[in-house]
Structure 1
Amino acid sequence: MPLLTVRAVDAHKPRERPYKLTLDRGLQLRIAPDGARTLLVRYTVKGSEVERQFRLPQEYGEGPGQMKLAAACAEAARIRALARDGVDWPAQEEARLRAEVVAKGVAGRHDGLTVEKALREYVEKKRRAKDGLPLKARTKADYLGMIESGKVSKSGRKFADGKLFSIAQILLSKLTAEDIRGVHYELAKRSQREAAYAMQVLRAVLRWHGIVVPGNPLGRDTAGRDRIVITASQGNPSPIPPERLGAWWRAAAVAPSKVAADYYRFQLLTGCRGGEIHGNKRHGYEPIKVGDIDCKGGKLVLRDTKNRSDHKLLLSRQALEIAQRYCAGRKPEDPLFPIVDARKTLAWINARAETSVQGHGLRATFASIAEELVSGGALKRMLNHSAGGDVTLGHYVGKSEAQLRAAWQTVADFIEAAAAAEADPKPSPSVRKRQLQARRRRTDMSTPSRTVVVTAH
């Protein structure tokens, strides 16, 4: 019950300075010189010793839009009861109102923005946090392909639409959790990997634009049971089987197209990606050119690779011999391997060697061989893989050019020895010696030297 009656409250008039009246326990009325009557609730949250004050949103009074005495007392009692249970309702309400204002502002900025427009803006303006670089050309093409309609071949065959094409024209402000789940469900029927990739891209676009989708199944705050689980991508390496490695290498040496075969041999010896060697006109990647090869130093530098860093290749003796062959008598701006499409040559090599390896499988073959012969730190640098969160490799382990060159040479010697062994099931002592040397180099490279300390007596 209020400490003062309505008549008693109304009897208090404005003064030269503002003053307060206590209307009920924890409830005060502030009367300003201009006659404004503000209701203040004082409360202390359980577990805290600090008394807080909250101004009720309505002024005191009996008129429209004002709060009457009984209602003010009831609201103050509710706030104080929640505070005794440890709930700071005024703070929660303030946060809610602030979030609504932000959401309205975001909605205003994105008025008329569809999923397609949002993705295109993301692709053009997105910059990597760690170095400020834009997305790679191939990444941009992959993302934009998700919102495009499937092409029609000359024979009239319709190819599949982009992964996000079905929601491309939906306004971001109208996008619902069910829309997202529907896309994921349809994609998952085709491929779990495609579904996960599409959801990663959509999640990144929504976060970049600051879009809040109620119950977003890709959101961090969504309950686990309602969330779409985006599984980490899993590789599917398909290297040359170890028992067919020698046969593949020997077949490549006698292939009809020497330049195409040497391109594939060079890829196997270096562990490069195919696009890093022959380039990609569609995505603006330049091929290795004659002028890029440092024949005297036995190395070359690949510029702006997949992880946005330069990559130095320290060529083995075998790889350098191939490079020198195509540098001789040619202009610096000429591509090292003047080929257009080498797939027929690879098919010929596979048929002769009884293998089925494809272009990227040669990189997997290189990695599979090196994994047994060199240290993990050397292998990561040879493949130009980022150390990521590996503090040891990223900040402490250093590899000199001599160590990395020896690692590449070890792999090349192993491949050459496998070819020699395939040609002669009973290898000569010299071949057997090379095989053993290749296998022992891992120990030589990764085991620290021991220092013998002799104590004088």
Structure 2
Amino acid sequence: MPLLTVRAIDALKPREQAFKVTLERGLQLRIAPDGVRTLLIRYTVKGGSDGERQYRLPQEYGEGAGQIRLAAACAEAARIRALAREGVDWPAQEEVRLRRVAAESEAAGRLEGLSLAQAVRDYVERKRRAKDGLALKARTRADYLAMVEPGRTMRSGKKFADGELYPLAHKLVSTITGKDIRKLHTDLRERSERQATYAMQVLRAVLRWHGVVITDNPLARDTAGRDRIVITTGSSEPAPIPPEQLGAWWNAAATAPSRVAADYYRFQLLTGCRGVEIHGHKRHGYPPIKVADLDLVGGKITLRDTKNRSDHKLLLSRQALEIVVRNATDKKADAALFPIVDARKTLAWINAKAGTSVQGHGLRDTFASIAEELVSGAALKKMMNHATGRDVTLGSYVGKSEAQLRQAWQTVADFIDAAAANPLDLAPQSRPPRRAAVRRPWRDRAVADRRPKLPLVPSGPR
């Protein structure tokens, strides 16, 4: 039974200051100076650490429309307090639910009439990286936009494949279903597993950025594992020049018909740069290395706004500096250091002569494979211009001076020169005769100690 009757409550008049009246255990009525009457429920959650909490009923007390009567208020207070005794904070859960509903309603209004193609274009233009506020790189923007475009048609009538997300490009994001995404992923896997993975990564990023909620979304974190599309981290096997053919490749590059193209590839091998960082890309707005970018006195080049959105300083070895000086001589400051359009024919010529099959990025792989055995891991990461990410040691503690990094680059260049001076000839008839083994008891014992100890397996009947 309430402590006060409806008549007693109606007889209460507003005062200059708001005041509270207890109607029942855990239920209070607050009367404001303007006469507004609100109901407050006080409760303590079992196992909670915040002590007593307070919840205000959304309806005002009264007998009119939209108001809550005394009996209903007492029943609601009893329900909430009973749940609290069981460890359930119903008001907090309700607040979370209402916020989610409001957010979904706001997102639905914002996404009304928005197609996936428009969503991708909006993402490309407005997306900024959280750590530094920088926009997406030009090549990344181009890749994403191409996914929602139809394939081009050549003059011969041949049509290229449509963009990976083109089947959903004109569909409203509010109408995309989990079934649509699964079908798209299945179709893309028939074209290429790598394309399917990349497309799903882009689609997931765009949907999250716009706040699109899709029921049974196979790209969502809260979807059951058996129903989720697994997006694996992209990886590829390195394809460096085989060590035994390094010297032959370097010597072949030195005699290639196109001096500029050969110097470009030799420079890439000596520095470990990405090709686009050297020759640039007009379509995506990447400038090439120009003569004005060189610091011949300091023996270095600074590459601006590279793939990881930071500047990268190349500290040139003697061999790399020689190539740079040769290609910069008698050129204007705004001229490209390596004025090449397509150097792949030169690389094919070098490969044919050296018996190799390395491609452009494989030279970067070769540089890293050589350096990995010659310099420290911290130096290699700096030379490769890889972000430290979450590596606290490299990001916050390990520092490398220009002298240390220059020496690291020089070490790699000297190794390549040594390989060119003494190329390995693996033909059996040309191998030098083996020298007689020299007995070194102390060394033999050390080697024996390092050999794996195999378990003794009893032999079967002979």
TM-score (norm 2): 0.82
1:9 positional shift: 2.7
Alignment of 1:439-450 (within 5 A): none
Separation (CA, whole Å) in 2 of partners of 1:34 and 1:367? 76
Look up the match of 1:16: 13
1:358 positional shift: 0.8
Does 1:196 pair with 2:193?
no
Q: Quick check: 1:15–1:32 contact (8 Å CA) kept in 2?
A: no
Deviates more, 1:17-26 or 1:361-370: 17-26
Secondary structure of 2:55 counterpart: strand
Q: Quick check: 2:241–2:366 contact (8 Å CA) kept in 1?
A: yes
Q: Quick check: 1:266–1:319 contact (8 Å CA) kept in 2?
A: yes
Q: 1:265 to 1:23 in 2, by over 3 A?
A: same
Deviates more, 1:13-22 or 1:195-204: 13-22
Does 1:309 pair with 2:310?
yes
What do the CA deviations read for 1:193-234 (whole angstroms, capped 9, x no partner)? 323322222232233333333443333444444433322221
Separation (CA, whole Å) in 1 of partners of 2:364 and 2:344? 16
What do the CA deviations read for 1:285-332 (whole angstroms, capped 9, x no partner)? 111122222233322111111111111111122212211111122222
Alignment of 1:311-326 (within 5 A): 311-326=312-327
What do the CA deviations read for 1:411-439 (whole angstroms, capped 9, x no partner)? 112112212222778999xxxxxxxxxxx
Q: Quick check: 1:15–1:33 contact (8 Å CA) kept in 2?
A: no
Deviates more, 1:202-211 or 1:242-251: 202-211
Look up the match of 2:47: 47
Alignment of 1:143-154 (within 5 A): 143-154=144-155
Separation (CA, whole Å) in 2 of partners of 1:179 and 1:37? 51
Structure 2 unaligned residues grouped into runs of 5+: 433-462
1:39 positional shift: 4.9
Separation (CA, whole Å) in 2 of partners of 1:176 and 1:87? 34
Q: 1:62 to 1:308 in 2, by over 3 A?
A: closer
The code of the aligned residue for 1:367 comes to A
Look up the match of 1:352: 353
Look up the match of 2:229: 228
Q: 1:291 to 1:39 in 2, by over 3 A?
A: closer
Q: Quick check: 2:14–2:34 contact (8 Å CA) kept in 1?
A: no
The code of the aligned residue for 1:209 comes to H
Look up the match of 1:270: 271
TM-score (norm 1): 0.83
Separation (CA, whole Å) in 2 of partners of 1:146 and 1:285? 21
Q: Quick check: 1:29–1:38 contact (8 Å CA) kept in 2?
A: yes
What do the CA deviations read for 1:255-274 (whole angstroms, capped 9, x no partner)? 22222112111111111111
Separation (CA, whole Å) in 2 of partners of 1:298 and 1:32? 78
Q: Quick check: 1:420–1:427 contact (8 Å CA) kept in 2?
A: no
Deviates more, 1:15-24 or 1:222-231: 15-24
Look up the match of 2:111: 110
Deviates more, 1:228-237 or 1:321-330: 228-237
Look up the match of 1:422: 423
1:74 positional shift: 3.9
Separation (CA, whole Å) in 1 of partners of 2:60 and 2:277? 71
Deviates more, 1:66-75 or 1:325-334: 66-75
Structure 1 unaligned residues grouped into runs of 5+: 429-457
Say how many residue pairs are matched.
425
Look up the match of 2:170: 169
Secondary structure of 1:301 counterpart: strand
Look up the match of 2:376: 375
Secondary structure of 1:422 counterpart: coil
Q: Taking every aligned residue pair, what percent have the same amino acid on both sides? A: 70
Look up the match of 1:432: none
Look up the match of 2:161: 160
Q: 1:15 to 1:217 in 2, by over 3 A?
A: same
1:24 positional shift: 5.6
Look up the match of 1:437: none
Deviates more, 1:59-68 or 1:161-170: 59-68
Q: Quick check: 2:114–2:172 contact (8 Å CA) kept in 1?
A: yes
Look up the match of 1:75: 76
The code of the aligned residue for 1:387 comes to T
Alignment of 1:15-34 (within 5 A): 15-17=12-14, 26-27=26-27
Q: 1:82 to 1:327 in 2, by over 3 A?
A: same
Separation (CA, whole Å) in 2 of partners of 1:424 and 1:47? 77
Secondary structure of 2:407 counterpart: helix
Look up the match of 2:409: 408
RMSD of the alignment, in Å? 2.9
